């Protein structure tokens, strides 16, 4: 999550890639772009799928920590979950919609082969014990992402946002957050 690191924010030519499309884009990027364009936020299926998030700067910091704390010779394999938090897709959609008045959340038939609901049991305790201070998906991150998206929205190809199988008839807007 996030669009910039301290280094890339120094020069506009270093701006990071922002994938938003239905195939390769992240759900967070797609939702922020849809809201910025005034489109309904497109939740696939039930929205009960859980996704993990980590800020781009935090991912870099986790690699630095792993390098700075090598395993002892002969020790067992260590796995570091590079994650800050996880959210259900429908909760992420609502979080973004709440920050942009008038933004609708719409459910589409899920083009992915995945369960309607899944849970993650994620922990980043090992990295936190090494000094990792996670950046949560908080207002300032969504503001930063929205500002970057708004600045470059003219580069967007709206035909790439939704999966090809999705048609206007397949989009089912919901009127109230209570239905989430």
Residue 77: per-residue pLDDT? 86
Residue 144 has pLDDT above 90, yes or no: no
**CATH class, 8-165 region:** alpha beta
Residue 165: per-residue pLDDT? 66
Specify whether the CB–CB gap between 41 and 103 falls below 8 A. yes
What strand order describes the sheet that includes 172-174?
Answer: 41-44, 105-108, 172-174
**DSSP helix/strand/coil, 76:** coil
* Pairing of β 105-108 and β 41-44: parallel
Please name which of 102, 113, 83, 74 lies closest in space to residue 175, comparing C-alpha atoms: 102
166-174 CB contacts, 8 Å cutoff, 24+ apart: 166/22, 166/42, 166/108, 166/109, 166/111, 170/108, 170/109, 171/40, 171/42, 171/106, 171/107, 171/108, 172/106, 172/107, 172/108, 173/40, 173/104, 173/105, 173/106, 174/104, 174/105, 174/106, 174/107
Residue 166: per-residue pLDDT? 57
Residue 49 has pLDDT above 70, yes or no: yes
Residue 139: per-residue pLDDT? 61
Residue 174 has pLDDT above 70, yes or no: no
Question: Quick one: CA torsion of 20, 21, 26, 29, rounded to 10 degrees?
Answer: 20
Flag the least confident range among 55-69, 76-90, 153-167: 153-167
């Amino acid at each position: 999550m996030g669009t910039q690191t301290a280094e890339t924010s120094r020069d506009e030519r270093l701006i990071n890639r922002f994938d938003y499309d239905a195939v390769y884009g992240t759900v967070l990027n797609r939702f922020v772009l849809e809201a910025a364009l005034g489109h309904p936020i497109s939740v696939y299926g039930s929205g009960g799928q859980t996704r993990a998030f980590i800020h781009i700067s935090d991912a870099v910091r986790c690699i630095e920590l792993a390098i700075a704390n090598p395993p002892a010779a002969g020790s067992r394999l260590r796995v570091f979950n590079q994650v800050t938090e996880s959210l259900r897709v429908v909760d992420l959609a609502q979080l973004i919609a709440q920050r942009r008045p008038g933004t609708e959340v719409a459910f589409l038939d899920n083009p992915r082969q995945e369960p309607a609901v899944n849970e993650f049991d994620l922990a980043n305790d090992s990295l936190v014990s090494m000094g990792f201070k996670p950046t949560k998906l908080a207002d300032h991150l969504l503001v930063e992402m929205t500002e970057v998206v708004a600045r470059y929205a003219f580069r967007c190809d709206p035909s790439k946002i939704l999966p090809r199988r999705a048609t206007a008839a397949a989009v089912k807007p919901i009127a109230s957050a209570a239905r989430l």
